[in-house]
Amino acid sequence: MLKFFSTGADVPEITDRARVDSLFKKHRFRVMLAITLGYGLIYTCRLALGVVKKPLIDSGIYSPSDLGMIGSALFYTYALGKLTNGFLADHANMKRFLAFAFLATAACNLMMGFTTALWTAVLLWGLNGWFQSFGAPGGVVAMTAWFSNKERGRAYGVWSTAHSIGEGLTFLVVGSAVAVFGWRWGFWGPGLIGIATAIGCFLLIQDRPRTMGLPTVNDWKGDHYGEAAKPAAKSVIGLQFSILKIPAIWVLCLASALTYVTRYAINSWGVLYLQEARGFSLPAAGTLLMISTLA
pLDDT for res 234: 59
Is position 51 within any domain? yes
Is position 12 within any domain? no
Percentage of the chain lying above the pLDDT 90 cut: 74
Is position 226 within any domain? no
Average pLDDT over residues 243-251: 86
CB 276 within 8 A of CB 54: yes
Is position 193 within any domain? yes
Is position 3 within any domain? no
Query: 174: pLDDT confidence band, cut at 50, 70 and 90?
Result: very high
Is position 91 within any domain? yes
pLDDT for res 1: 57
Average pLDDT, the chain: 91
CB 44 within 8 A of CB 166: yes
pTM: 0.89
pLDDT tens, 97-151? 999 999 999 999 999 999 999 999 999 999 999 999 999 999 999 999 999 999 9
Average pLDDT over residues 247-254: 89
Who's near 218: CB < 8 A, 6+ residues apart? Answer: 148, 149, 224
Residue 6, beta-bridge partner list: 92
Is position 1 within any domain? no
pLDDT for res 70: 98
C-alpha closest to that of 35 among 180, 151, 155: 155
Whether residue 235 is predicted with pLDDT greater than 80 in this model: the reply is no
Q: How many domains, the chain?
A: 1
Average pLDDT over residues 79-90: 88
Q: How far is CA 271 from CA 44, 109, 153, 258, 276, in A?
A: 14, 19, 33, 21, 9
Whether residue 184 is predicted with pLDDT greater than 70 in this model: the reply is yes
pLDDT for res 238: 74
Who's near 162: CB < 8 A, 6+ residues apart? Answer: 35, 36, 37, 38, 39, 40, 43, 139
List the CATH number of the domain containing 78: 1.20.1250.20
Instruction: Give residue 222's region: left, alpha or beta (phi > 0; psi -120 to 50).
Output: left
pLDDT for res 233: 53
Whether residue 241 is predicted with pLDDT greater than 90 in this model: the reply is no
Query: 37: pLDDT confidence band, cut at 50, 70 and 90?
Result: very high
Is position 207 within any domain? yes
pLDDT tens, 40-74? 999 999 999 999 999 999 999 999 999 999 999 99
**Residue 245, domain extent:** 17-218+237-294
Give the whole-angstrom CA distance, residue 66 versus residue 51. Answer: 15
